[in-house]
Amino acid sequence: MSICRKYAAIALSLAGLLGTAPAFAKTTLETVKERGRMICGASQGTPGFGAPDGNGYWRGLDIETCRAVAIAVLGDKDAVDFVPLSGQQRIPALQTGEIDMLPRTLTWTLQRDTNGINFTQPNYYEYTGFMMPKALGITKVEDMAGASVCVQTGSTTEVVVNDVSTQNDLDLKPVIFDNTSAARQAFFSGRCDALITDAGALASVRASMADKPDDYVIFPATPYIDALTPAVRQGDDQWMDIVRWSVQALIAAENFGITQANIDEMMKSEDPRIRRFLGTDPGNGKALGLTDDFAYRIVKALGNYGELFDRNVGKDSPLKLERGYNALYRNGGLMLPLAFQ
Amino acid sequence: MLRELWYSDRLRNGVFQAVLLGGLIWLLFWIGGNTVQNLAERGIRTGYEFLQRPARFPISETVLRYSPSDSFFWAYVVGLANTLWLSFLTILFATIGGLALALARLSGHPLLSRLAGIYVTVFRNVPLIVQLLFFYGVATSLFPPVRQALNPLPGLYLSLRGVYAPGLVMGPGSGTVIAVAVLLALVLLIVLRHWAAGQGRLRRWLWGFAIFLPALVLVWLLAGRPIALEAPQLHGLNFRGGLYLSPEFSAIIIGLTLYTTAFTGEIIRGGIEAVGKGQWEGGRALGVSERHIMFRIILPQALRVIVPPMTSQYLSTVKNTTLAVAVGYPELGLVVNTVINQTGQALESILIMLGVFLTISLSVSALMNYFNARIALVER
């Protein structure tokens, strides 16, 4: 089962550290171009963020974030292989070069940032939440005294459970599982009163696993918001820039009002910022080591961030999440486009 | 002279071994050097300083006392204690169960021996992880939700959150009561054995209890009733107080024991069958009862055959406990996983786990080898 595979994967990742490789002659960009494919870390099934559909085609917000980079680098949104990774495999897999990029609901934390990986550009902001059956009549953390909570390892949530419990003197009883689906099943079977994880993932679980999604309520566990951010290996600044600006291209396109449908129209725009963004005026792509029209190709193939959001987790998806923090800055959200010049 | 050296077996062997050893050492150094260099190049922290930092993550159930403000080191110790506790119980139950299973298979009773045979076939041939998940599914669906918990006896509650039973609560002064009780019991045992030797066994015991129990109650009352029975109470979302058996622990202990029993049963059966038929016949000819033949004559000889394979079975049992992560019981493996995730120090954590399991395994095998030497045939 997955346990053996997991240990094997960790062992293999570690074995990667033991072998030769110090001659870091090739950059990640060169490696990816030579291989002709990108390799991305993916989740083990969180519909909306990353999961294969009925035909085995990977879909989700994180998945499309990775496709955006593949388009920028290789010109093909399907030139990506996805490697499903558990919470604790994902960082070693990135550190050891097994994957090129890790867009997998990964919270940007100081400890992670200072330990062999670099974060690029948040593609989703959210809080850690609890999900509970509505029948219990609890909608805020303060009322949860004595509740047992199903937790999956490999995330920041174990620590959140403890912090919340001590701060509010709740005596929460965590039941900790090593794999995601076990934790979710235990929750739905009634083993725990609550399930804790990122609110977006909770919405995904509720939409995909609950018999009656309306019977469950999700509320914040902490007053803090986390930035889920695609990460890359430390030590390759060019690759970090490529990933950052590819994700930024999605956000900037929404800010400019560029969509998949109207992008060819926008090519005729007189606005110098838009012209530089789309590569009509050259310079941006070259600076990154890409072609100048990289942003054009990304939006042409995938649409802008708003379209990605609506399609995967927003109003056009079963998750029906509000834009909330993930709206553009001018709509009261946190998504801030940087200057493409 | 040189020719002689070239053909000298001792020298040749020595040279080969030296070369091999040198190569091995070089390989280890090369691997170590590469690892350190690669870790440094990729900006990955190394070292064991993190062991002193507070762990901050919870562990759902522990044998030793643990709180998230304890250090990572203590978290490892707590995980290890859980592993050892689990291994100990499994080995104990599986050994007793294995003996019963072997005797059942060997018995002349056709139903019993067939059933035992089916048991072995089923449990040996289904992967352990599947069995564990099955038992966990049973443990979390057999009983009703916590608010409609079954209450077969006062104070005993069965729910899918586990089994809650009344437990003893020790208040201040309990130590005195226990000490007095132990002292009283010892004195009574000695007194009754010496001065009432003429009486029958049963009467002596009756007398003993007739004095002991009222005295104990008196002491307990005098000390201000420090020891009390506390029944679990439904408080908010869950029961509180009393003793608690979680479905995670139940699932892992039942699953591991049933699985291991199938193997130990076969090992013991093999050992018993290896003892010559003549031993049985000799025993019968001397008029020894069947039960005594089995326990006094056959089993002691069978042990010589049983112990070596049993050792490796015990070792794999210890290693099998790592599968407990699948059903959410926090043994060492789960703690190590969590630590890796919290600190990112995978290499160090895996090394600790390697070291710990190696130590446990070597200790178990040393103990069993010692036992084996004790029971081996002494040849004079």
Domain range spanning residue B218? 168-230
The answer to whether A113 contacts chain B (CB < 8 Å) is: no
Q: For residue B173, what is the DSSP state?
A: T
Q: Please, which pLDDT band fits residue B353 given cuts at 50, 70 and 90? A: very high
Report whether A225 contacts B174 (CB < 8 A).
no
* Mean residue pLDDT across chain A: 89
User: How far apart are alpha carbons B137 and B46 in whole angstroms?
Assistant: 40
A159 contacts in chain B (CB < 8 Å)? 56-57, 342
Taking residue B248's Cβ as centre, other Cβ atoms within 10 Å add up to 25
Statement to judge: residues B31 and B88 lie in one domain: no
Of the listed ranges A90-94, B233-237, B252-256, B285-289, the least confidently predicted one is: B233-237
* pLDDT tens per residue across span A113-127: 988 899 999 999 999
Task: Tell me whether residue B301 is in a domain.
Answer: yes
Report whether B140 contacts A189 (CB < 8 A).
yes
Cα B337 to Cα A168, A184, B326, distances in angstroms: 27, 19, 12
The arithmetic mean of pLDDT across residues A66-78, rounded, is 95
Per the CB < 8 Å rule, is B43 touching A179? Answer: no
Statement to judge: residues B195 and B296 lie in one domain: no
Per the CB < 8 Å rule, is A14 touching B346? Answer: yes
Q: Is the pLDDT confidence value at A302 over 90?
A: yes
Specify the pairing of strand A173-177 against strand A148-152. parallel
Fold of A126-225: D-Maltodextrin-Binding Protein; domain 2 (3.40.190)
% of chain B surpassing 70 pLDDT: 98
* pLDDT tens per residue across span B83-138: 999 999 999 999 999 999 999 999 889 999 999 999 999 999 999 999 999 999 88
Taking only residues 147 to 166 of chain B, the set having a beta carbon closer than 8 angstroms to any beta carbon of chain A reads 160-161
Cα A338 to Cα A71, A245, A246, A249, A290, distances in angstroms: 20, 9, 11, 9, 18
* Mean residue pLDDT across chain B: 87
Would you state the pLDDT for residue A20?
A: 47
Would you state the pLDDT for residue A8?
A: 56
Q: Is the pLDDT confidence value at A2 over 50?
A: no
Q: Please, which pLDDT band fits residue B200 given cuts at 50, 70 and 90? A: confident
Would you state the pLDDT for residue A22?
A: 43
- In angstroms, the separation between the Cα of residue A46 and the nearest Cα of chain B is 19
Query: CB-CB: which of B37, B160, B322 is closest to A189?
Result: B160
The answer to whether B236 contacts chain A (CB < 8 Å) is: yes
Statement to judge: residues B82 and B37 lie in one domain: no
- In angstroms, the separation between the Cα of residue B366 and the nearest Cα of chain A is 27
B250 contacts in chain A (CB < 8 Å)? none
Q: Nearest Cα to A74, choosing from A232, A231, A246, A283?
A: A246
B352: which 2 tokens?
A: 């600790």
Would you state the pLDDT for residue A82?
A: 95
The arithmetic mean of pLDDT across residues B54-80, rounded, is 90
A184 contacts in chain B (CB < 8 Å)? none
Taking only residues 191 to 230 of chain A, the set having a beta carbon closer than 8 angstroms to any beta carbon of chain B reads 191, 193
Statement to judge: residues B207 and B278 lie in one domain: no
Task: Tell me whether residue B219 is in a domain.
Answer: yes
The arithmetic mean of pLDDT across residues A121-147, rounded, is 92
Report whether B93 contacts B340 (CB < 8 A).
no
A152 contacts in chain B (CB < 8 Å)? none
Q: Please, which pLDDT band fits residue A251 given cuts at 50, 70 and 90? A: very high
- Classify residue B370 as exposed, middle or buried by CB count within 10 Å of its CB (0-12, 13-18, 19+): exposed
Query: CB-CB: which of B39, B145, B322 is closest to A17?
Result: B39
- Tally of CA atoms within 13 A in the half-sphere of B193 that contains its CB: 6
Would you state the pLDDT for residue B76?
A: 94
Per the CB < 8 Å rule, is A17 touching B347? Answer: yes
Cα A173 to Cα A9, A164, A275, A303, B142, distances in angstroms: 31, 12, 56, 44, 21
Taking residue A45's Cβ as centre, other Cβ atoms within 10 Å add up to 17
- In angstroms, the separation between the Cα of residue A83 and the nearest Cα of chain B is 18
Would you state the pLDDT for residue B91?
A: 95
Per the CB < 8 Å rule, is B240 touching A146? Answer: yes
Statement to judge: residues B117 and B249 lie in one domain: yes
CATH classification of A28-123+229-321 is 3.50.50.60, yes or no?
no
Statement to judge: residues B289 and B255 lie in one domain: yes
Of the listed ranges A270-274, B167-171, B212-216, B266-270, the least confidently predicted one is: B167-171
Q: Which residue has the higher pLDDT, A287 or A146?
A: A287
Taking only residues 19 to 58 of chain A, the set having a beta carbon closer than 8 angstroms to any beta carbon of chain B reads 19-22, 24
Q: Please, which pLDDT band fits residue B196 given cuts at 50, 70 and 90? A: low
How many structural domains are present in chain B? 3
Can you tell me which residue has the tokens 């946190």? A334
- In angstroms, the separation between the Cα of residue A196 and the nearest Cα of chain B is 14
Q: Which chain A residue is nearest to residue B54, measuring alpha carbons?
A: A159
Per the CB < 8 Å rule, is B38 touching A154? Answer: no
Statement to judge: residues B120 and B187 lie in one domain: no
The answer to whether A174 contacts chain B (CB < 8 Å) is: yes
Topology match between the domains A28-123+229-321 and A126-225: yes
Q: Please, which pLDDT band fits residue A23 given cuts at 50, 70 and 90? A: very low
Would you state the pLDDT for residue A227?
A: 94
Q: Please, which pLDDT band fits residue B206 given cuts at 50, 70 and 90? A: confident
Per the CB < 8 Å rule, is A193 touching B238? Answer: yes
User: How far apart are alpha carbons A262 and A207 in whole angstroms?
Assistant: 32
B98: which 2 tokens?
A: 């294995």
Statement to judge: residues B34 and B93 lie in one domain: no
Statement to judge: residues B319 and B353 lie in one domain: yes
Of the listed ranges A42-56, A213-227, B214-228, B322-336, the least confidently predicted one is: B214-228
Would you state the pLDDT for residue B178?
A: 84
Would you state the pLDDT for residue B286?
A: 93
Beta bridge partners of A131: A195, A218
Statement to judge: residues B315 and B342 lie in one domain: yes
The arithmetic mean of pLDDT across residues A99-110, rounded, is 90
Would you state the pLDDT for residue A1?
A: 41
Query: CB-CB: which of A10, A19, A173 is closest to B238?
Result: A173
Would you state the pLDDT for residue A215?
A: 94
- Can you give the CATH number for the domain in which B114 is found? 1.10.3720.10
Would you state the pLDDT for residue A4?
A: 52
B40: which 2 tokens?
A: 């440094």
Of the listed ranges B22-26, B100-104, B345-349, the least confidently predicted one is: B345-349
A155 contacts in chain B (CB < 8 Å)? 341
Can you tell me which residue has the tokens 């009561």? B177
User: How far apart are alpha carbons A19 and B31 in whole angstroms?
Assistant: 7
- In angstroms, the separation between the Cα of residue A312 and the nearest Cα of chain B is 28
Sign of CA dihedral A236, A238, A241, A242: negative
User: How far apart are alpha carbons A297 and B219 in whole angstroms?
Assistant: 87
Q: Where are the domains of chain A?
A: 28-123+229-321, 126-225
Q: Is B190 helix (H, G, I), strand (E, B) or coil?
A: helix
Work out how many CB contacts closer than 8 A connect A with B. 149
The answer to whether A146 contacts chain B (CB < 8 Å) is: yes
Task: Tell me whether residue B50 is in a domain.
Answer: no
Statement to judge: residues B203 and B297 lie in one domain: no
Statement to judge: residues B248 and B352 lie in one domain: yes
Task: Tell me whether residue B238 is in a domain.
Answer: no
DSSP string computed for A133-177: EGGG---SGGG-TT-EEEEESSSSHHHHHHHHHHHTT---EEEEE
Taking only residues 84 to 143 of chain B, the set having a beta carbon closer than 8 angstroms to any beta carbon of chain A reads 127, 129, 140-141
Of the listed ranges A102-106, A108-112, B190-194, B331-335, the least confidently predicted one is: B190-194
Q: Nearest Cα to A153, choosing from B345, B332, B251, B57?
A: B57
Of the listed ranges A313-322, B135-144, B189-198, the least confidently predicted one is: B189-198
